[in-house]
Amino acid sequence: MTTLDIREVRKSFGGLQALAGCTFALDRPGIYGLIGPNGAGKTTLFDVITGRQRPDHGHVLIAGSERVLRPHVLAGLGMARTFQECRVFPELTCLENMLFATQPKGLGRTLGQAFGRSAAHRRAHEAEARHWLQLATLERYADEPASILSFGQRRLLEIAAALVTRPRLLLLDEPAAGVNPALLAVLRDVLVAQQRAQPAVVLIIEHNMEFIMDISERIIVMHQGAVLEQGSPAAIQASPRVIEAYLG
């Protein structure tokens, strides 16, 4: 069954058409790249997939079903997402950030957890949370506030917190932006380890061409709100249309 199926999706903001009939499908677990120039519609597409925006036209099918759901409901169904701006809780420890990510989603449940985080919940999830912190080379900061981390380390923490939820569909918006080469190698290792342990569809928006071409099995190129080309990294890098519109 196709995990993510995007069919002729259109979205406009006033006179600006952000998505213009975007269509593609991802039918099996793997790491996929989503590239294109600024303004191509990549983040808007993520917003539509995750329920932050409703399309003006077209369909988004997840696991074969078309659902118009609130983001926290989609999260409960196995979807996770990161954003261009790094989103962690700086006042919480790294471990607490991880454990917060595993809490049931929804306002009522979140408030209940906030006022009485259960010891049972912590015991049930702490071992796996520490496992992902170790893979992200953050285990020594488990009991330290996230505020002491560098930007790149915070990015790794954010992604580790998404992975601890065991997503079936993971959307990463420019995870390599602002991350130094040493931590990029860690990020790559974390994502590869995730695919081995918990295969999922991972769709990555990225402008770091070296990183995305190295880690992806297939690349989707967007231009002016639609899919311009898709194929293997080698085919994309050799495509005259992609070179003219973006890579050139």
Dmax of the chain from CA atoms? Answer: 58
Average pLDDT over residues 2-17: 92
Whether 241 is covered by a domain: the verdict is: yes
214-234 per-position pLDDT tens digit: 999 999 999 999 999 999 999
- Distance separating alpha carbons of residues 62 and 74, to the nearest angstrom: 10
Together in a domain, 15 and 126: no
144 with 99, same domain: the answer is: yes
Residue written as token pair 């380390």: 153
Would strands 16-26 and 4-13 be described as parallel, antiparallel, or unpaired? antiparallel
Same domain, 108 and 133: yes
| 42 in the same domain as 7 | yes
Query: Is residue 192 situated within a structural domain?
Result: no
Residue 4 domain-assigned? yes
Cβ atoms of residues 153 and 94 within 8 Å: no
The reply to whether 50 falls in a domain is yes
Are residue 136 and residue 172 in the same domain, yes or no? no
| More confidently predicted of 1 and 32 | 32
- pLDDT tens for residues 158-215? 999 999 999 999 999 999 999 999 999 999 999 999 999 999 999 999 999 999 999 9
Same domain, yes or no: 161 and 171: no
Answer yes or no: do 226 and 175 share one domain. Answer: yes
- Over residues 23-43, the mean pLDDT reads 96
Per-residue tokens: 55: 């399309």
**Are 74 and 100 found together in one domain?**
no
Spatial separation of the C-alpha atoms in residues 94 and 156, rounded to whole Å: 11
Q: Is there a single domain that holds both residue 151 and residue 34?
A: no
* One domain, residues 74 and 59: yes
Poorest-confidence range of 111-120, 127-136, 143-152?
A: 111-120
Q: How many domains does the chain contain in total?
A: 2
Average pLDDT, the chain: 90
Length of the chain: 248
133 and 176 share one domain: no
- Residue 247's identity, in one-letter code, is L
The predicted pLDDT at position 106 comes to 56
pTM: 0.91
Q: Do residues 172 and 246 both lie within one domain? A: yes
Domain boundary among 140, 165, 190: 165
- Any domain includes 84: no
**From CA 101, how far away is CA 96, in angstroms rounded?**
9
Host domain of residue 156:
90-165
CATH code at position 12: 3.40.50.300
